């Protein structure tokens, strides 16, 4: 039978309210007494009832992760890596993680986020996804703790943790130039209205201007989240008079379609065409040939986002003292280059 607070009080030789004060930190308890209490807690393996504590402390000890449900976003390992990092941080601090998938509809997202705030079903939120980048005005107005997992639309307005997508694309070009390629094309992950896509485009453009033969707009195709994104774009690029010898795809799933279409057109990968993906998901590892990819530190991003949010919840960081954490990307070399 699980130990109760009365068992702890009896073992430590104190009143039940003294145990409560020590556990919740709601009143001063002498160090010697506190030591006896926590020794008793450890001996009896006592676990405080979080729901009961919440009635007193106004805390749920829940952190919400709100994820935009895109076409392939939940089929790769990105979310799993983020959750691993979040779990690493929250588990060590007695927080539970609540997961919510939302369709990219700004109005519904705004309503959902406000609902969490009004019902106080979580102490804070981590928002992940391009559309979720938008409807956080009410959260700011009500000073509800939240962290954006991704680059904020309006820098300096909210706390955020992000991968350096611009640096990642720059490194991809630098790597390919090191392999002897000069005609390097880019298929963006989606519309340039999405921050990550724009960052990767800018990183590619800067690298081509600084390290290559200059930026050529004809070597850029805009991808999408459609299931066939990558096929048409690859065919267009390879049918150009001066075709590229390497293609950087904005997502691994698109890179796999680049390889498929290139092989269908009679090109060998990597002998005739080098291919690099983005995100280092299971797709890049399982493809044949396996695909070189730019790894985003998603586990570390999840870890840092959770740590930052818990500091906001606990008042260790002021709501207005905006924190921006940007983590570098890495080239993971495989057979496609």
Taken in order 253, 225, 209, 150, is the CA torsion positive or negative? negative
Least confident of 133-147, 254-268, 300-314, 315-329: 133-147
Q: Strand 292-295 to strand 330-332: parallel, antiparallel, or no bridges (unpaired)?
A: antiparallel
Q: Is the pLDDT of residue 163 over 50?
A: yes
Average pLDDT score over residue span 58-87: 75
- H-helix segments, 92-185: 106-119, 137-141, 165-178
Which CATH fold would you assign to the domain 5-57?
Answer: 434 Repressor (Amino-terminal Domain) (1.10.260)
Average pLDDT of every residue of the chain? 86
Dist. CA 22–CA 33, nearest whole Å: 9
Dist. CA 101–CA 109, nearest whole Å: 10
Q: Which CATH architecture has domain 165-295?
A: 3-Layer(aba) Sandwich (3.40)
Q: Is the pLDDT of residue 264 over 90?
A: yes
Domain boundaries, the chain: 5-57, 62-164+298-329, 165-295
| 62-164+298-329 matches 165-295 in fold | yes
CATH of span 62-164+298-329: 3.40.50.2300
Taken in order 4, 5, 7, 8, is the CA torsion positive or negative? positive
pLDDT of amino acid 99 = 81
pLDDT of amino acid 70 = 58
74 falls in which pLDDT band (50, 70, 90)?
Answer: very low
Angle at 197 between CA 194 and CA 199, to 5 degrees: 105
pLDDT of amino acid 255 = 97
Average pLDDT score over residue span 163-177: 98
Residue 194, both tokens: 């999405």
pLDDT tens for 174-231 read 999 999 999 999 999 998 988 889 999 999 999 999 999 999 999 999 999 888 999 9
DSSP per-residue string spanning 32-98: HHHHHHHHHHHHHT----HHHHHHHH----EEEEEEE--TTTTTSSHHHHHHHHHHHHHHTTT-EEE
91 falls in which pLDDT band (50, 70, 90)?
Answer: confident
pLDDT of amino acid 162 = 94
Average pLDDT score over residue span 163-184: 98
Average pLDDT score over residue span 6-28: 82
Dist. CA 235–CA 102, nearest whole Å: 34
pLDDT tens for 107-161 read 565 566 656 655 667 889 998 876 555 557 778 877 889 999 887 766 788 899 9
Percent of the chain past pLDDT 70, that is, above it, reads: 85
Q: Strand 324-327 to strand 159-163: parallel, antiparallel, or no bridges (unpaired)?
A: parallel
Average pLDDT score over residue span 36-54: 73
Best-predicted range by mean pLDDT among 18-27, 148-157, 284-293?
284-293
């Amino acid at each position: 039978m699980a130990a109760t607070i009365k068992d702890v009080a009896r073992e430590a030789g104190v009143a039940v309210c003294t145990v409560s004060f020590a556990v919740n930190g709601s009143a001063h308890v002498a160090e010697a007494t506190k030591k006896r209490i926590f020794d008793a807690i450890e001996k009896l393996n006592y676990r405080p009832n979080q729901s009961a504590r919440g009635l007193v402390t106004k805390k749920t000890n829940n952190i919400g992760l709100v994820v935009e449900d895109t076409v392939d976003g939940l089929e790769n390992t990105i979310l799993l890596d983020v959750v691993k990092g979040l779990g690493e941080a929250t588990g060590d601090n007695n927080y539970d993680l609540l997961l919510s998938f939302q369709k990219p509809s700004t109005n519904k997202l705004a309503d959902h986020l406000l609902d969490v705030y009004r019902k106080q079903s979580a102490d804070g939120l981590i928002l992940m996804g391009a559309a979720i980048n938008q409807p956080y005005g009410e959260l700011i107005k009500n000073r509800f703790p939240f962290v954006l997992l991704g680059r904020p639309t309006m820098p300096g307005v909210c706390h955020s943790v992000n991968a350096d997508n611009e640096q990642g694309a720059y490194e991809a070009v630098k790597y390919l130039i090191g392999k002897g390629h000069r005609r390097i094309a880019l298929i963006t992950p989606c519309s340039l209205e999405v921050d990550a896509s724009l960052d990767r485009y800018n990183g590619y453009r800067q690298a081509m201007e600084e390290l290559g033969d200059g930026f050529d707009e004809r070597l850029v195709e805009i991808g999408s989240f459609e299931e066939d994104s990558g096929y048409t774009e690859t065919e267009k690029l390879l049918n150009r008079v001066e075709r590229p010898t390497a293609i950087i795809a904005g997502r691994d799933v698109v890179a796999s379609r680049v390889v498929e279409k290139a092989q269908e057109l009679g090109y060998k990968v990597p002998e005739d065409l080098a291919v690099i993906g983005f995100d280092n998901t299971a797709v890049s590892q399982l493809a044949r040939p396996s695909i070189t990819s730019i790894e985003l530190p998603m586990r570390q991003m999840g870890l840092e986002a959770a740590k930052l949010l818990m500091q906001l919840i606990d008042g260790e960081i002021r709501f207005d003292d905006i924190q921006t954490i940007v983590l570098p990307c890495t080239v993971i070399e495989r057979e496609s280059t």
